[in-house]
Each structure stands twice: as C-alpha cells, then as structure tokens.
Structure 1
Amino acid sequence: MDKNQSGIEFMKEGKLDLAAEAFHDAINENPDDPVAYINFGNVLALAGSDDKALAFYNKAITLDENAATAYYGAGTLYYSQERYEEAKKCFELAIKKGLDTTDNYFMLGTTLMILEQSTKALPYLQRCVELNPSDAEAIYQYGLCLAQLKMVEDAKTQFEKCVEIEPNHADAYYNLGMAYALQDNGEKAIEMFEKALEIQPDHEYTRNAMKHIEVIEE
C-alpha cells in the first residue's frame, strides 16, 4: 500500500497524526504529486489548521491547475470562515475542473443562497438532489431555494420529501407551515407548526409564526 493510501486509511480510523506522517512521507517521495498535498491539506483541515491547509491546497493547484478537489477543499475552508465570495469561486472552479459530486453542488448551492443568489443556486441544489435523492438536508435546501423564488407548491413537495426521509426535521415542518400559510390554509399551517414544536419546543420562528396565524384565525 502506498503512502497516500495508508494515510487515507489512517484518516478513516481517526488517526490524524499517523495520516499526516504518511502524507508527509508521500510528499518527500514525490514532491511533484498534487494528490499528496491535497491529502495533507485534508488532514490539516480536520485538525483545525485552516491556514496551513489552504497553503497545501494552493500548492496542489500550483502543481496542477486542474486539481479539482483542491479547489473544493479550499472552498469548504472559506465557507467555514464565512468568506462566502471566495468559497463560491472555489466551488465553481471545482465544477469547471470536473468535480461532479453531490458535496460540491450542495456547497455551491448553499453558498449562493447565503449570498442571496437563489436563482443561481437553484440548478446546483437541483443537481445535488438528482444525484442523491435520499439526502434529506439537500432536499430541504432545495425546497428552501424554491420557496425563496416564490415557487411555493414545488417547495412544499420538497419539504414533504424531506420529512418523509427525516421525520424529525423541525425546520422542514416550519417551512411547510409557512407554505400552507401563504396558500391561506391556516388549519394545515398550524398542524405543521405543531409538528415542528413537538420536535423542537424552542423553535422560535415557529412560535412566532403560530402567534401570527392565531391572530389571523381570531
């Protein structure tokens, strides 16, 4: 087993020190291999050494400008640091360089949502759901995007799929309630809000929405 593969196995086992050592050896053996730098960057990211991880991702990109997973790795770090414009650019480059994965589409879609670019986010979240139709969180984010674009009935469909897969998804029930409220179905909206509160009694958005609905009902 080569050093990169050994390091990956150590990472799976949570042995980050041994993984770092293996990737360090891989770099020494082949200093022009971008994969080893990406792997070392992944270990550093898991260890919370963001700046060092970025340096390794950038080194991989210097060696191979088409190193798609390096762009993705850098994007996740920028995202965690709330540097969303930089994260967006990295995720877009990862796709351009050929990274066709649910994780990358999800991260780009959610980043665009945060940047209030829902129209741009929609196809990426849709693609993510197409690739993994059992991912409750991806389905939820796709529904949220549809809701923001005022495609309420389509959003409802996605929120319903989400709670079928993840019955304890309070946010999905809250948004289902909001969708029904927008369609003037107060009774169904309250039913959804009550389910959200059963799951998460301190869900403030739901409590506020319930008060508003009750006022209207009166």
Structure 2
Amino acid sequence: MGKKSQNHDDKDYYFDLGIQELDSGNFDKAIKAFNKAILINPDDQRLYSNLGIAYELSENFEKARKAYEKALAINPGNPSTLNNLAGLTLQEGNSEDAEKMYNSAISSEPLYIEPYLNIARMFVDMREFSSAEPYVRKILEMEPINAEALNLLGIITSVTERSEEAVKLFQDAIKSDANQYSVFSNLGTALSSIGDKKRAIIAFEKSFELNPNNLSIMNNLGVLYREMGKHNKAQYFFERA
C-alpha cells in the first residue's frame, strides 16, 4: 500500500512544520509555515506566539511584538507569551511594563519558573537586590537545586554583605551544575571577601579552566597570587590579562 499523502490543509501540519523549522534554527522557513497555519486557523494563539518567537530570533522585533500581542488578544493569560513579551519589552528599555508582564505571567501560572528567573535577573541587573530576592527564594521553594537561582541568590547575598551565605549558595549551585565558569568566579569573589584566599584561588582556577580568555578572572588570580607571595604565578596572569 502506498504512503498516505500529507494533507496540507490539516490545521496542525504547518504548525508542526513551523516548530520543526524553529527548532532547527530556520527562522524564515518557520515564519512562512506559521503564517500559512494562521490562514487555515486564525484563532489559534499558539501560532501567533511561536510566530513571535521566530520573528524575535530573526531580530524583527516590531513584528515579534505584533505577533505576541495578537496571541494575547486571543488568550490574555497565556504565561509563556506574557513572559516572551516581557522580555522583548525589557530589551526595548521599558522595565516598568516588563515587570508588570512578568508578574502577570506568574499570576497566570504560579509554577512556571521562567518569569521568576527573568524578573529576578532584571532586578539584579538594575541592582535592586531587595526586589529580586523574593522571586529567587520562591524559585528555590519549587526547585531547591535550580543552579541559576542558587547563583542569583549567591550574588544577592554577596553584594548585601552576607558572604558566608553566598559561599554556601555558590557551592550548592556548583553541585547542581559544575560547568558554569561564572559561578566559580562568583565563589572565588565571595571566598576572597571572607579572607579565604587559598580556596578563592582554587575557585578562580576552575573558572579560568572553563573560560581561559576571561580577563577579569586572570586579574583576580594575579591579585590573589601576589597577595600570597607567589610572584611568578601573579606575573603570569597579569601578563595574560
């Protein structure tokens, strides 16, 4: 028996094709597929939401916004679309509206981790650490070994002079994911701040191993080795930095 031909009028055919192209990084093809799907099924918010993602990844931000807004016109409480539009809004420099959208996404689906992470990152970047901390702690209530949340809370406690707690948090983040150079670097900074230079060097060395081109890590190692009286090692890192 011959293979049954695919019905291109099927409402899911072009959606599935668009997802495949999106996952493969073929954003222009994904856009074409989602637009064809919309012609068949114009009331499916998934199509506009994924079309928005494809436009955003293509750096066509104006069309991405229109697609996200159309998706929300159909389903105003969709947490994923709210989260995506919040990220786009933040990228445009409007942190106030982004905050509202992230919180709307959280209200719509309180177990959805991404908007908690994104709003916490936003506040950390803005150095509004007291605003960021409740969101990070909420993530850790839901996912106690979430490496990114542990790292973010480590940053928050470190800059708010809770270095002992920060050290523990960075260590827990590393237990969860030992491949992030920035977490080892953060651990090195926290250990330095409590005077534990030997362990700070170990942390920075691991960070350097994971990212051997980072000038800040080289400089930190140079400073620590100089303070430890290891001038040859210090010179090595200062010259590279």
TM-score normalized with structure 1 length: 0.81
Aligned match for 1:2, one of 11, 28, 32: 11
Decide whether the 8 Å contact of 1:88 with 1:112 is kept in 2. no
Structure 1 stretch displaced more, 82-91 or 69-78 = 82-91
Pairs within 5 Å for 1:13-52: 13-52=24-63
Q: Which has the larger radius of gyration?
A: 2
Residue 84 of structure 1 contacts residue 115 of structure 1 at CA under 8 Å; is this kept in 2?
A: no
1:68-217 mapped onto 2 (5 Å cutoff): 68-81=79-92, 83-98=94-109, 100-133=111-144, 135-214=146-225, 216-217=227-228
Q: Percent identity?
A: 25
| 1:38 to 1:214, Cα distance in 2 relative to 1, 3 A | same
- Name the CA distance, whole Å, in 1 between partners of 2:67 and 2:178: 40
Deviations 1:172-214 (A, max 9, x none): 2222122222222222222322332333333333333344445
Deviation at 1:18, TM superposition (A): 4.6
What secondary structure does 1:121 align onto?
A: helix
Deviations 1:53-110 (A, max 9, x none): 1011112223333233222111222344554444333212211233632222111110
Give the superposed CA RMSD.
2.8
Give structure 1 stretches of 5+ with no counterpart: none
| Change over 3 Å in CA distance of 1:196–1:67 after alignment to 2 | closer
Which stretch has the larger CA shift, 6-15 or 46-55? Answer: 6-15
CA distance in 2, matches of 1:191, 1:94: 40
> Helix, strand or coil for the counterpart of 1:201?
coil
Counterparts of 2:19 and 2:181, CA distance in 1:
35
Structure 1 contact 7–23 (Cα < 8 Å) conserved: yes
**2:83–2:114 CA contact under 8 A, matched in 1:** no
Q: Deviations over 1:109-161 (max 9, x none)?
A: 10111111111212222333444455433432232122223222222122112
Letter of the 1:102 counterpart: I
Corresponding letter in the other structure for 1:136: A
Contact 1:129/1:139 (8 A) holds in 2: yes
Matching of residues 43-62 of structure 1 within 5 Å: 43-62=54-73
Question: Residues 187 and 58 of structure 1: is their aligned pair in 2 closer, same or farther, counting only changes over 3 Å?
Answer: same
Letter in 2 for 1:151: R
CA shift in 2, pair 1:34/1:180, >3 Å: same
Q: Any conservation in 1 of the 2:154–2:166 contact (CA below 8 Å)? A: yes
AA of the residue aligned to 1:203: N
Cα deviation for residue 2 of structure 1 reads 3.3
Mind listing any 5+ residue stretches in structure 2 that lack a counterpart? 1-9, 230-241
> Aligned residues, how many?
218
